[in-house]
A = this chain, B = another copy of it.
């Protein structure tokens, strides 16, 4: 009996509310939008903020390393990094040891931005109205899904 789905079971999978991917798509965009007021005050976009999170931690990274960590390719990163370079936030130079690689490094203005971020992460946690434990559990769950996909 259960072997044959109900007549409209397949069709119900074609409803927007049935989709798992749409909530991801929508939440991702709404989260980015929630960052907007904070990041705009610093003149940053969300992907640029992600680049800074990595550089504040690692000082220097190649474009390849940035791409691996953010799951972005050079078609996205190269123009984005050039805009950040124009703002004197970071430097881009070829690695003398391997001229194929471009090393991205923090400049003083970029380093100084870290202090201005303040409690943005805490403000964002407040916006989603979740306990640290919930956030942690959800992040584990999402990271697991990411591993399935990437």
Give every chain B residue within 8 A of A148 (Cβ-Cβ). Answer: 127-129
Give every chain B residue within 8 A of A45 (Cβ-Cβ). Answer: none
Q: Do A146 and B20 touch across chains, with their CB atoms under 8 A apart?
A: no
- Interface of A, secondary structure class, is helix
**Which residue, of A27, A122, A125, has the highest number of chain B Cβ atoms within 10 A?**
A27
What's the Cα separation between A71 and B150 when bound, in Å?
26
A124 to B, closest residue via Cβ: B21
Closest CB-CB distance, A131 to chain B, in whole Å?
12
A117 to B, closest residue via Cβ: B14
* Contacting residue for A23 out of B15, B25, B143, CB 8 A: B143
Contacts A21-B124, A24-B27 given: A14-B56 contact, CB under 8 Å? Answer: yes
Q: Do A30 and B149 touch across chains, with their CB atoms under 8 A apart?
A: yes
CB of A19 within 8 Å of the partner chain: yes
Closest CB-CB distance, A140 to chain B, in whole Å?
9
Give every chain B residue within 8 A of A6 (Cβ-Cβ). Answer: none
